[in-house]
Amino acid sequence: MLLVLGVASNSLAQSLSDPIRVDLNVYTPGTIPSGIGEPVREAARLAEEWERLHPGEKIKYQQIVTTGGGEGEWLKTQLLGGIAPEIIHQNAEIAWQDTDKGWYIPLDEYLEKPNPYVPVNKRWLDTFTNQALVNAKRAPDGKLYCISLDIIETGLFYNKDLLRKLGCDRMPDTWEEMRAMFKKIDSQGVTPMATAIFGLGSDWGQDILFEMLYRKLLPDMDLIPSSPESEAYLGHYLEAREAGFLFTKGFFTPKDPRWRELNRLLYEWRQFWPKELKNSDPARLFLTERVPILWDSSFLLRRMETDPYRTFDWGVAYIPRITPETSRFADGGPATVIGGAAIQLHLTNSARNNNRVEDCIDFLMFLSAPQSIERLAAEALVFIPNVKGAKMASQLAPFAEIFQRRYCAIKWLDSMDGQYKKQWRRMLDYYLNDGMSLEEFLRTLKLNFAAWVESHRAEAGWDFEGMEKVWSERSARLLPELN
């Protein structure tokens, strides 16, 4: 019978016997967040509690494989074959590139329903603390494919004791103060600052610099306004297609003075980081007191609290402001945040193929109830719960305060498709390590951008016609900003 009915019967048989496979990233049982302390177990206990409420159901935690390239090659292969875990963590921006393939199931209709694990709740979406953050993860097609369980934010961890020894009594507020402070530290043979592994400084650093230098232009550059539901969080955020369109008008090319200034300042900043960018352990440099400042995320907090060899007093600050003293393009306003949603849970096509959509939704509701996410977050000590009523560990308070700032205007490398992202990443590292001049870098990057935009020409979502109409109304204000 099964041979006659083929896939449909196999799917039915599978739905009656197989567990729901779930990837919870750092909350996956057996994982050691930040590589220190005891493995986390709370998710296993929660699964057992849910199973008792649903006799016959089973949860199997299965962390997805990462191949090192950041493009999710393994996961995409699993999704293509319809055999990925039913529930996975995936950055929404990466998933957006494939929503037209049917690999992810929209959650909109379910978010309008009550969460039975939250008393008197009438709408699941209302249980999230920062609903604008949740809505900000809507794909370009307007649909929401994930829930944002918690929040990650970055900050400048600083060694108070070491800074005092180096003659520095406070963290800098402006770029000029930072430059003076870093030169003073550097003159004493100490590297002033490190940034988290995987190039956070040169990746997210360019995003933060971008907003501070383009802030005045962003209302006009934002040709596709954010939805009312996400505007409080995103503001004038530039989607990939907006950036691509603006590129065709001359922005983000050698003729754009702000683009040139961004990369000049990024290079200047890089001179105060360790010489080796890719393979060292910046957190270890900080914890062993070889650098006084480390730009990292709340993910480091567990290591700071748990490491038995850390003996110094420390604090958390944020990226200094760029003022007109440093650049004529800056207004002196505060640097934006760059973190945002941490664990972003998606429902894959496997849930549909295996007839498990309703069960998976129920488990997601269970996980996102305040009493559940509070336990997960407290044990891992890396992320801030994004659910009303869930308590936050006191150590996370500085990051929660930083998160109140305006969000960045774009996440550049996350906006790019695989091959173009990789090429940009290689060129950026080459430029920042004196492999090419600024002029060479800008010219080469322009070619990469042109190929990226051209690769999307036939896509409906990248139709420039609507943006062209808005551009015609604003071009008189924007074009004078280009050389």
Taking only the tens place, the pLDDT of each residue in 389-404 is 999 999 999 999 999 9
The pLDDT of residue 109 is 97
Burial 10-37 (b: 16+ CB within 10 A, else e): ebeeeeeeeebbbbbbbbbbebebbeeb
Q: Can you tell me the distance from the alpha carbon of 457 to that of 465, in angstroms, rounded to the nearest whole number?
A: 12
Q: Can you tell me the distance from the alpha carbon of 162 to that of 158, in angstroms, rounded to the nearest whole number?
A: 9
The pLDDT of residue 317 is 97
> At 326, which helix (H) or strand (E)?
none
Q: In CATH, which of 3.30.110.40, 3.40.50.10420, 3.40.190.10, 3.30.470.10 is domain 155-336+416-481?
A: 3.40.190.10
- pTM for the full predicted model: 0.87
The pLDDT of residue 97 is 82
CB of 320 closer than 8 Å to CB of 178: yes
In order of 269, 323, 326, the CA distances from 335 in angstroms are 15, 11, 14
* Residues in CB range of 412: below 8 A, 6 or more apart: 203, 206, 207, 210, 243, 424
Helix (H, G, I), strand (E, B) or coil at 298: helix
Task: Locate 442 and state its tokens.
Answer: 């800008």
* Residues in CB range of 10: below 8 A, 6 or more apart: 2
Q: For the sheet containing 150-152, what is the strand order?
A: 340-341, 150-152, 384-385
Taking only the tens place, the pLDDT of each residue in 224-252 is 988 787 777 788 899 899 999 999 999 99
Please identify every stretch of the chain with a pLDDT value under 70, giving residue numbers as ranges. Answer: 1-17, 66-72, 197-199, 277-279
> At 204, which helix (H) or strand (E)?
helix 200-214
DSSP for 242-276, written as a single string: HHHHHHHTTTTSTT-HHHHHHHHHHHHHHTTS-S-
CB of 439 closer than 8 Å to CB of 254: yes
Closest by alpha carbon to 47, among 81, 73, 24, 77?
24
CB of 85 closer than 8 Å to CB of 64: yes
CB of 236 closer than 8 Å to CB of 218: yes
The pLDDT of residue 450 is 97
Identity at 336, one-letter amino acid code: T
Where on the phi/psi map is residue 30: left (φ > 0), alpha (ψ -120 to 50), or beta?
A: left
Helices in 92-174 by DSSP H: which ranges?
A: 92-96, 108-111, 131-135, 160-165
Numbered ranges of CATH 3.40.190.10 in the chain? 2-152+340-402, 155-336+416-481
* Residues in CB range of 421: below 8 A, 6 or more apart: 70, 71, 413
The pLDDT of residue 9 is 37
Q: Supply angle C-alpha 350, 348, 44, rounded to 5.
A: 85
**Which CB contacts under 8 angstroms, 24+ apart, belong to 77-81?**
79/103, 79/348, 79/349
* Residues in CB range of 344: below 8 A, 6 or more apart: 89, 90, 91, 92, 137, 146, 147, 148, 149
Q: For the sheet containing 154-159, what is the strand order?
A: 193-195, 293-297, 154-159, 314-317
How far is C-alpha 424 from the chain's CA centre? Answer: 18
Return the CATH architecture of domain 2-152+340-402.
3-Layer(aba) Sandwich (3.40)
Closest by alpha carbon to 290, among 274, 277, 305?
274
